[in-house]
């Protein structure tokens, strides 16, 4: 049997795809042949144009994923625009920083709701359609190095991303017999708008690079390549796995 990374005929939904990792994943899925819907609060003008430039269909869904309120509508609009959802990428997420001894309940709930609760219920809604159609599907969650480590001053983020690992495995156990593979990607230090301050901090940048065996920061395209693999038939026997794409950070 030939190994295939081809996504022709597939429909993907990517959350938080206006910039950075989400944008790179959405465009890479389109380049591999998928039509792509993107969902989030910010206007993804550039992302939509990049998807359209591949010749694939692009659908924009406006939604605030800080709560589960829009979950049903997001799936309905993706199906209305693309006909189905074969691939779901849960990339939308936020982070709040503060000292542990004064970390607020508001910041705790905001991160857990967006990064874990909405992720689960959007996955649940997408999986229902995948199971009903009987043609299987792929769910890809974006985890973090803090899925494996505790971090500093980000307790709710560490808790949520650790939870992403657990819920990925839980969903994989129940959905695998129904033809749906569920996996996660844990990005390392990736050059995006969110990490610009770290890149610009000469001391911190040096410390980070000293820890990365490959000797460089990752690019959003490094994560996109892993996403195409996990979305494609090439990964049909991979499920319940958290794939670290970190230049070797966790190995050191």
The Cα–Cα gap between 141 and 181 comes to: 11
Q: Give yes or no: 237 in active site.
A: no
The span from the CA of 67 to the CA of 71, in Å, is 8
Residue in the structure block whose two tokens are 């609760």: 117
Per annotation, catalytic residue among 120, 157, 189, 217: 157
Instruction: Return d(Cα 17, Cα 24) in angstroms, integer.
Output: 8
Here the contacts of 110-115 (C-beta below 8 Å, separation 24 or greater) are: 110/66, 110/156, 111/156, 111/157, 111/159, 111/160, 112/156, 112/159, 112/160, 112/163, 113/66, 113/67, 113/68, 114/65, 114/66, 115/157, 115/160, 115/161, 115/163, 115/164
Residues annotated as catalytic (active site), given as ranges: 157
């Amino acid at each position: 049997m030939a190994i295939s990374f081809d996504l022709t005929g597939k429909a993907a939904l990517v959350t938080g795809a206006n910039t950075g990792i989400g944008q790179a994943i959405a465009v890479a899925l389109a380049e591999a042949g998928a039509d792509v819907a993107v969902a989030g609060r910010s206007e993804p003008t550039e992302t939509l144009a990049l998807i359209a430039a591949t010749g694939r269909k692009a659908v924009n869904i406006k939604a605030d994923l800080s709560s589960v309120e829009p979950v049903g509508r997001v799936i309905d609009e993706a199906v209305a625009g693309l006909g189905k959802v074969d691939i779901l990428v849960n990339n939308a997420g936020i982070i709040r920083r503060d000292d542990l001894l004064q970390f607020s309940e508001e910041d705790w709930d905001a991160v857990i709701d967006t990064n874990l609760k909405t992720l689960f219920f959007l996955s649940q809604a997408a999986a229902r359609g995948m199971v009903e159609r009987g043609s299987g599907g792929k769910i890809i969650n974006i985890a973090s190095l803090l899925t494996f480590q505790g971090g500093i001053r980000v307790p709710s983020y560490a808790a949520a991303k650790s939870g992403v690992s657990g819920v990925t495995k839980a969903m994989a156990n129940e959905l695998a017999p129904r033809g749906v593979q569920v996996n996660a990607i844990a990005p390392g230090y990736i050059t995006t708008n969110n990490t610009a301050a770290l890149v610009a901090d000469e001391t911190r940048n040096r410390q980070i690079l000293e820890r990365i065996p490959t000797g460089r920061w990752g690019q959003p395209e490094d994560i996109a390549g892993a996403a195409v693999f996990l979305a494609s038939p090439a990964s049909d026997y991979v499920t319940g796995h958290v794939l670290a794409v970190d230049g070797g950070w966790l190995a050191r």
